[in-house]
Amino acid sequence: MSFWKTFGFNTGTAIDSILDGEDYTLEQLLDEEEIIQETKAQNKRLIEFFVEPETLKKLLYYITEEPQEDDDTNRKYKYPFLSCEILASEIWAICDAMYSNPGLLDMLYSYFEKESPLHPLLSSYTSRVACVLLQKKVSTTVNYMKERQGIIDHFLKHLGNGFVMELLLKIIACEDTTEGAGTLEWLCTTGLIASLISKFEPSLGTEVHENAGQALVDIIIVSMNSSSSPLIAQLESKEHVERLFGYILEKGLSSSLQNGLTVLIELLRRHVREHHDDETTLENLPPILRLSVDNLVPLIKLITPDSENNLPTLQTTTGKVVPIGFERLKIVEFISALFITNKLCIDKELVKTNILNTCLDLFFSYPWNNFLHAIVEIIIQSILEGENESLKMTLVEDCKLIQRIVDASKDNDDDCAKPKGTRKGYMGHLTAISHALLNIATITPAIDKLLSENPGWEGFVRGELSSIRERENRPLAGYIPSEYGMADEPQDFDELEDEDNDILFEHMGGYDQSGDYHPGENEFRLDPDDDSDDDDDDDDEMVVQGRHQEDSDDDDEPQQQQQEQQEEKKEEAELKAETPAEEGSTQDAV
């Protein structure tokens, strides 16, 4: 068909044939294979038919009304799919027609007022069309939703449906657009925060918890640059934080805990300070921080090594491994977020719970969980790089961090020495922590003293740590080859670069430090003094200027010797040719 259209031999399509008739139905057009192609090509007569109110109502009917059991496959699958594709084709004429008749929008959004669960196919089609219309006309759609009472509650009723959840997230994201400014303020009046927090009820299921948590996290991210967001103010209020902690701790390790802590971690990141705060007291902390400290003890009880862990053992390439679990991992991440707030009063409360020892015990108890190792390393690095000297000494001295590192290195060496032994999974993180200790020791005499007093630390630094540092500092593909070979490999990249520059200068030539130019050994250029009277081709001959004269003389000697040898051979050949004739004349004489 495209060939005939391109070269002007269009004989018409089946769609055009139907549109040429007087009586035709939407179903006749939907039965044609080219309906989507012609729609996206914006066939004028076809679009004019689609924007008619009756046609739009029929299209909406197919995506909002569930088919009956005795309906044919076209009604159940084909017509709803094609109707969704047409309505979501992002054609302005169709979008304008939808908004010119409020009854059409009512028909679309009334679908979400149905009871759960929604039809899986129709909910995806309806949500997709609603998302496209929202993106095309943000302000108009938001204004319509403001006038439609209870529409957000209808969305939240189906929070377990991923397609409805996607629509809700797009509504929240409208705040980032110019047309959608003020969306969060309107959502604040709808009771959205309270409704979302209620979705963390443990009995509602994992999918509902995940969607509620994702919605709250998106609200926090959208409001990240705003210090006076009404939704954030509601979310961080004492009432809502207490309620959220109640759901988190209600059933111990559960999806409510995992997704609820995800929300709290995002809120804590809004309170991170660059410099340490020594003045604020616990009583003066915001509710989110104060209540987080108050609920530390029950959370820490869930991650102690002797706490109950009912997770099944996993068979991996390194053998059987007991997983730590997403919930316990999320608690450690929550502890990390509290440390990073850089508040002295919070640090003191964390030290009282002995959480640092607990985190270090977990670090070495799960040698193959790199997520856990990364979080614990963040805690240690934040403490060592922070301004709380007392907390540093608690970590290094009271928690015996140095001795733990030395013992772990020895255990790793013993395991590697065994047949088919493997290196512990946490050794890379221990290397980074050890480097941080060495760096902080240069400016903290107390830590430097502890390092020097440990009998195994010096051996670890000179052995394991030194070999790792040397291997990490070596270029990935090796050193750059040079004419001097690789016997003496420079350890300093600046030294290596200077040496290579000297070699390059010697071979290729260049300007020295005084600004004088020196030709290199391999530099080619035209010889301006060539006065040869040879043919025109000889005038273009390239002459090597950088060669030594001795090399030229050496090259000429073999040519002269070869010419002399050829002349001698020629004389010998002539002499041999004359000799038989003389012998023949002697025989005749005899």
Q: What is the mean pLDDT of the chain?
A: 83
User: What integer is the mean pLDDT of 62-79?
Assistant: 94
Indicate the pLDDT class of residue 267, thresholds 50, 70 and 90. Answer: very high
pLDDT at 300 (0 to 100):
93
pLDDT at 251 (0 to 100):
85
User: What integer is the mean pLDDT of 370-391?
Assistant: 94
Lookup: tokens for 46: 């076809």
The span from the CA of 542 to the CA of 198, in Å, is: 87
Kindly report the length of the chain. 590
List CB contacts of 545: < 8 A, sequence separation 6 or more: 519, 523, 524, 525, 527
Q: What is the pLDDT of residues 217-243, one digit of tens each?
A: 999 988 877 667 888 999 999 999 999
Q: What is the pLDDT of residues 129-178, one digit of tens each?
A: 999 999 999 999 999 999 998 999 999 999 889 999 999 999 998 988 89
3-state secondary structure of 497: helix
Q: ω before 580 within 30° of 0 (cis)?
A: no
pLDDT exceeds cutoff 70 at 121: yes
Helix extents (H) in 22-119: 26-30, 35-40, 44-50, 53-64, 73, 79-87, 92-100, 102-109
Q: Which residue has the tokens 């996607």?
A: 166
Lookup: tokens for 527: 């010889």
Q: What is the pLDDT of residues 522-543, one digit of tens each?
A: 444 444 454 444 445 444 444 4
- Show me where the domains of the chain are located: 13-190
pLDDT at 392 (0 to 100):
95
The span from the CA of 245 to the CA of 189, in Å, is: 23
The span from the CA of 247 to the CA of 242, in Å, is: 9
pLDDT exceeds cutoff 80 at 502: no
Secondary structure letter of residue 272 according to DSSP? -
The span from the CA of 187 to the CA of 342, in Å, is: 33
Instruction: Give the distance, in angstroms, between the CA of residue 273 and the centroid of all CA atoms in the same chain.
Output: 25
Q: What is the pLDDT of residues 431-489, one digit of tens each?
A: 999 999 999 999 999 999 999 999 899 888 888 888 887 887 778 777 666 655 554 45
Q: What is the pLDDT of residues 38-52, one digit of tens each?
A: 999 999 999 999 999
Indicate the pLDDT class of residue 582, thresholds 50, 70 and 90. Answer: very low
Side-chain half-sphere of 1: how many Cα atoms within 13 Å? 9
Lookup: tokens for 244: 């959220």
3-state secondary structure of 91: coil
User: What integer is the mean pLDDT of 237-261?
Assistant: 93
pLDDT at 206 (0 to 100):
92
pLDDT exceeds cutoff 80 at 273: no
pLDDT exceeds cutoff 60 at 550: no
The span from the CA of 240 to the CA of 183, in Å, is: 21
pLDDT at 311 (0 to 100):
79
The span from the CA of 410 to the CA of 527, in Å, is: 70
pLDDT at 100 (0 to 100):
92
pLDDT at 479 (0 to 100):
67
User: Which residue would you say has higher pLDDT here, 548 or 14?
Assistant: 14
pTM of the model: 0.74
Strand stretches in 48-163, DSSP E: none
Q: ω before 475 within 30° of 0 (cis)?
A: no
pLDDT at 584 (0 to 100):
41
